[in-house]
Amino acid sequence: MKDISIYLSPLDAEEKYRANQIGSAIQSFNTITGFPELKKGGVALFHVPEYRGDKKACPHNPAQFRHFLNTLYLGVGWEMPLYDLGDVLPGSTIDDTYFAVSQIIEECIKIGVIPLLVGGSQDLTIAMYKGYAALEQIVNICSVDYSLDLGSPEVDAHAEGYLSQLLMQRPCYLFNHANIGAQAPFVSREEFELFDKLYFDICRLGEYNANFRKAEPHLRNSDLLSIDFSSIRGSELREPWYTSPNGFYADQICQIAKYAGISDKLTSMGVFNYYPEFEAGSASALLAQVLWYFLDGVSQRKGDFPIGSKRDYLRFIVHINDFNEELIFYKSNRSERWWMEVPYPPQKGSNYERHHLVPCDAMDYELAMKNEIPDLWWKTYQKLS
């Protein structure tokens, strides 16, 4: 096991909290107890106040969210170990910070601990991805963002443009990227077209508002979730850094975090572009609640991702006219959630075992019954072929 404590700065001695508050249960890396022993099944929070990827950022109280989080009460059935690993202080260069974050992500995933990162600018998503790449793990990323953040491969990664840099990594371990919350005024036609060519997924803000369940399969299909805190509408935060008149409501971003936590496949989450201005500001309070709902989702995982035996699933086979492939659907008896099975060439190997079972919902099955191929099935088939 790598010693990741060398990349982290310990917290001050623990404050006193009431029984059943998160602060009373969390195991912190601090000057008295030292670095906690990480155990499989836990969730490890750490903070990365790295803002060099975003020139406009100048947070005054970048770790104030901890106070709000630690004073919230534990949810019902929270049995997983909770850790606070402290802060990753910015390195001499931004690449030094990326390296430190990637090492922490890699080690947590290797152990079976879910890393929960609070940033910092959203280009730190690249550092999280590199943690998976070090393990040679094919990965699906989901971003909650008002824009697609593609950027340009000729320009250094930054908070509003990092995905092109990620796509340029060789070897590339990114299988799919999904966006939830894109707003058309902030996305160029060329960006929409590129996402379409890459068979990536977009659930626009309007689609989410019309039916919030449209986002759930994208979250359930992801290994890494990257949330841009700027995707929340400014009226919900009431702090000077957040000015967007449109975006997610506070309860919606908490709902997204809850869905992400429930997903058995998701193994890491980062919340970025967190710019707290005031000590008792609403941004820190809302961030704490987003983290709370994610943890609550983790505590309610069903363990029903259908790999291996499918004995506990209902199997539905749909024949599409004038189409060579059968569409096979699975419905979990535990959670009543749905998946589609997408065939892939045997030479692709076991690396794609986790990605040919695509989360979907009952509407996709109903669409197939009407002799139509669901969009998610077709995109996945193109990427696997």
pLDDT in tens, 303-318: 877 665 667 789 999 9
pLDDT score at 189: 94
The 3-class SS string of 39-95 reads CCCCEEEEEECCCCCCCCCCCCCCCCHHHHHHCCECCCCCCCCEEEEEECCCCCCHH
CA 214 to chain centre: 16
Which run of H or of E encompasses 38? none
φ/ψ of residue 172, rounded to 5 = -100, 125
Residue located via tokens 């059935």:
77
Q: Are 272 and 122 in contact (CB under 8 A)?
A: yes
CA of 84: how far to CAs of 63, 113, 124, 379, in Å? 12, 12, 19, 38
- Could you confirm whether domain 4-299 is CATH 1.10.287.1080? no
Q: Would you list the domain boundaries of the chain? A: 4-299, 313-384
User: Which residues does the chain have with pLDDT short of 50?
Assistant: none
pLDDT score at 383: 85
Q: Are 31 and 13 in contact (CB under 8 A)?
A: yes
How far, in Å, CA of 27 to CA of 36, rounded? Answer: 6
CA 206 to chain centre: 21
pLDDT score at 150: 87
pLDDT score at 156: 80
pLDDT score at 311: 74
Model confidence pLDDT, tens digit, residues 212-254: 989 999 999 999 999 999 999 999 988 888 889 999 999 999 9
15-43: burial string, b at 16+ Cβ within 10 Å, e else: eebeeebbbeebbbbbeeeebbebeeebb
pLDDT score at 330: 93
Model confidence pLDDT, tens digit, residues 307-355: 656 677 899 999 988 888 889 999 988 888 999 998 876 555 555 565 6
How far, in Å, CA of 336 to CA of 374, rounded? Answer: 19
How far, in Å, CA of 29 to CA of 8, rounded? Answer: 9
How far, in Å, CA of 140 to CA of 112, rounded? Answer: 17
Closest CA to 260 of 229, 230, 215, 228: 215
